[in-house]
A and B are shown apart, each in its own frame.
Chain A
Amino acid sequence: MRVGARAAAMCFAAAAFLTGTAGAAPAQALTPMRGEVKSFTDQFAIRVFPANPYQRRIKVEVKVYDETFAPIAALVLPQAAMLAPQDNRSVMVLVPFDGKTVRRVRICAESIPFENKSTRLRTQVCGRFLATRVR
């Protein structure tokens, strides 16, 4: 992981830009759901806000996929969290470019609200993000 101070600042600036439009929005499943990031380093950071729209606490996981929904080995902090009813929290996602100049990723908030039925419905709300590496 090679993140210089300037690059890190750029990453966090990008994340701050993305979260700037999210604001305080309770009962959202995931915000933001669209965004563009520029980074000077070999990875980029995005901050997202998964939320719990239910009236009881749930466990939410944040996962990262590419445009074909293949999982990406990204650093997600925290990867899973318990959310109180109507609550949200910030999650930082650090994604490597893997040698590419442009990378399209999906960051998904997933939850499993019911577990004791024969057909469980897992909800998955995915934001789509475009990252460009500036050289």
Chain B
Amino acid sequence: MRKILSNSLAAAVLALSAHAASAVDSIVPFTGVVTSTCVLTVGTPGVMSASTDFTNLSSTNAGGVAGTVAVLSTGASFKVSAISPTSFTTAPAGGGDAVSFNALYQGSGATSIGSTPGATPTTVNTGLTNLSVNLNAQKSTGTFPAGAYASEVIVRCE
């Protein structure tokens, strides 16, 4: 009898403590803000190679490599473009004469973009878009002399 009373008392205490715990349940609010922005991250720079007649340097020629840029957009109103250079930043003597530049880009991922002239802006969707950027340098007179060449394409998000 005494043991039964003791067990009942312990059960009652447990029940009371369980009831008390549920009475202090509360809600902890969390808030967060994601700003509307555009993040550009260069994956790999490009490499231009010469055509067989040495009048063209391009990342689309055999041995050339397109540059890659990841575009992360958290807003729906941003546009990307790839601005062609007007000259080489590095070139041997005569290498930069009579040369016209032409940048092209295409994209995949959140936004599918076919081959597009660099100066034409394209609206990117929210999310991650992977851009592939190509650069062509065409010499209208003569051929490219031997030497190291370098140029810059500006990938713009605005």
Contacts and interface: CB of A to CB of B under 8 A. Distances in A.
Given A54-B41, A117-B45, A119-B45, A124 B35 contact: no
A94 interface: no
Contacts of A33: 36-38, 75, 78, 158
B45 A114 contact: yes
A28 B35 contact: yes
Interface of A: 21-23, 25, 27-34, 51, 53-54, 106, 108, 110, 112-114, 117-128
B139 to A, nearest CB: 15
7 contacts: A25-B35, A119-B151, A120-B150, A120-B152, A125-B157, A125-B158, A126-B156
A118 B47 contact: yes
Contacts of A114: 42, 45
B69 to A, nearest CB: 6
A123 B155 contact: yes
B99 interface: no
Given A23-B33, A33-B78, A125-B157, A120 B151 contact: yes
B47 A121 contact: no
Given A119-B153, A126-B158, A25 B47 contact: no
A27 B128 CA distance: 14
B35 A121 contact: no
B10 to A, nearest CB: 51
Contact of B39 (A28, A106, A110): A28
B153 A121 contact: yes
A30 B46 contact: no
Contacts of A108: 156, 158
Contacts of B69: 121, 123
A20 B156 CA distance: 25
Contacts of B59: 119
Contacts of B40: 29, 53, 123-125
Contacts of B39: 27-29, 51, 53, 125
A21 B74 CA distance: 14
A104 to B, nearest CB: 12
Interface string B133-158: 10100000000000011111111111
Contacts of A117: 45-47, 150
B96 interface: no
Nearest to A32: B35
A121 B89 CA distance: 12
A28 B46 CA distance: 24
Contacts of A28: 35, 37, 39
Nearest to B103: A119
A119 B158 CA distance: 22
